[in-house]
Each structure stands twice: as structure tokens, then as C-alpha cells.
Homo-oligomer: A and B are copies of this chain.
Amino acid sequence: MIQEIKTNSNCQTCLFKQVVMQYLTNEQFELIYDKTIQLKFKKSETILKQGNKFTHLVFLDSGTVKFHLENESGKNIILSVAKSPILLGSSNLFNEEINLFSITALEDCSACMIDINIFKTMIHQNCGLAIKILELVSNLYKDSITNFLNLANKQVAGRVAGTLIYLSEKIYNSTEFTLILSRKEMSEFVCCSMENLIHTFSRFQKEGIIKIEEKKIFIHEMNKLKTINRVG
């Protein structure tokens, strides 16, 4: 990762600043800003590592990331995919200061690392900011339940459909997109073997529901996908 000289940064247009400034004075913001480091991450670099003590909130300014964790049997699981602009690490704020999961860049990203102690002090001084963070954590919590719902008690076809719908609606905002996840990563998202994922992709393609050209995916029949997702 490359550390940028801060004078080059574009704080003027930063969404995080715009939100936070509603609750902070200029002086308070300067305190945060002094401790903030702007970094660039290359594809597949780790932004936050599961199990590490975490020292910074991360505001993802550009790029897409995956939240993932290893379970006790050593298998990797992708919890979610998120794109900028988004604040990462907020769910850890009031845990035991250990990252619950890893966050890794799926494509080149730029991010601001915000000192956690300074930020916590600000929260204590500022109800509005605390409530804003509470909103963020609540929504993360909601997303994780949605995710859980997609996986639990469904067969692989239903889960693959759910994941394709999620990517289409929440990440790419289109029924045609170029996947930045490998087949292996897709299978870690769907929680099945890579072969099963590929078989399911092939089946969906044979049935005309989707079209696959290597990394490009075209969803032709979203309705069928939604039915498959619903019935499991």
C-alpha cells in the first residue's frame, strides 16, 4: 500500500467529511484530520485483518472490498461485498477492539485511516455523531441478517441466485456486469464448493437465465432468478 502526501488528498469532496462535519466543529475535525492517513491498496491487499487489534476506522473513498473470515475448519467465507463510499470497521467500535473479520481489496482502493481513539472521544462529546454511527451499525446488522437469510436453509441454486441478485442490485446497479470475484471467491460467498458453483452457473446458462462470458455476466431473466432464490 502507498501512503499519500496529505496535501494531495481530496478532503474537499469527501463524503465522510461532509457527514461528520454536520456534528463536529472545525477544530474537532482538524484533530481527526491530523491523525488521519490516506492510503492506496492494490487488488487483493488486506485492509483490515481478522483477529488484529484495530486502531483505525477506514473510510473507503474508492474501490470495492470483501468482508471475509476463516471458520474453525479453515474454510474461507465471504460475508459481504461492499463498495465505496463506505465507512469500514464501525461494527468493531464498541467490541473488544479486535477485527471480527478481514477486509480485503477486490480492486485498487483508496482509503483514509482514521485514528480510533480520537474518533471515540468525539463520539463521547457528540450525541449526533453517536446516533449516526448507531445507524451505520444497525444497518450493517440488518445486512448481515439479510445475508444469513439468503444462505440458511436453502440449496445451492437458491443461494447462487441470491448472490447474483445481490451483486446486480447492490453493487453493480445493472443486470450486466463484469465480476471482480473469481469463481473460488463466488463459491466462498455462496458457501459451497467451487465445482458446485460452476455447475450451477452452467445450469443457469443452459436454461437461458444468465449468460456468461468469462468474467462478464448478463442476467437475462431476473424473475426466474428471484423465483429460484425464493423457493430455495
* A→B interface (CB under 8 Å): 69, 71-73, 75, 77, 79, 91-95, 100-101, 123-127, 130-131, 133-135, 137-142, 144-145, 147-149, 151-154, 158, 191, 229-232
Contact = CB atoms under 8 A, between A and B. Distances in A.
B145 A71 contact: no
Given A130-B131, A137-B138, A73 B230 contact: yes
A41 to B, nearest CB: 23
Nearest to A231: B73
A3 to B, nearest CB: 29
Contacts of A134: 93-94, 130, 133-134, 137
A125 B126 CA distance: 10
B75 A232 contact: yes
Grouping DSSP codes into helix (H, G, I), strand (E, B) and loop, the A interface class, with mixed when no group exceeds half, is helix
In this complex, the member of A93, A100, A152 whose beta carbon has the largest number of chain B beta carbons within 10 angstroms is A152
B95 A153 contact: no
Contacts of A231: 72-73
A131 to B, nearest CB: 6
In this complex, which of A125, A148, A231, A232 has the most chain B Cβ atoms within 10 angstroms of its Cβ?
A148
Contacts of A123: 127, 131
A66 B151 CA distance: 19
* Most chain B beta-carbon neighbours within 10 Å: one of A72, A133, A139, A229: A72
Nearest to A153: B75
A93 B145 contact: no
Given A93-B134, A95-B142, A130-B130, 12 more contacts: A69-B149, A71-B153, A72-B232, A73-B232, A79-B148, A93-B138, A94-B139, A95-B138, A130-B131, A144-B148, A147-B148, A148-B148
Given A138-B137, A142-B100, A152 B151 contact: yes
Nearest to A142: B95
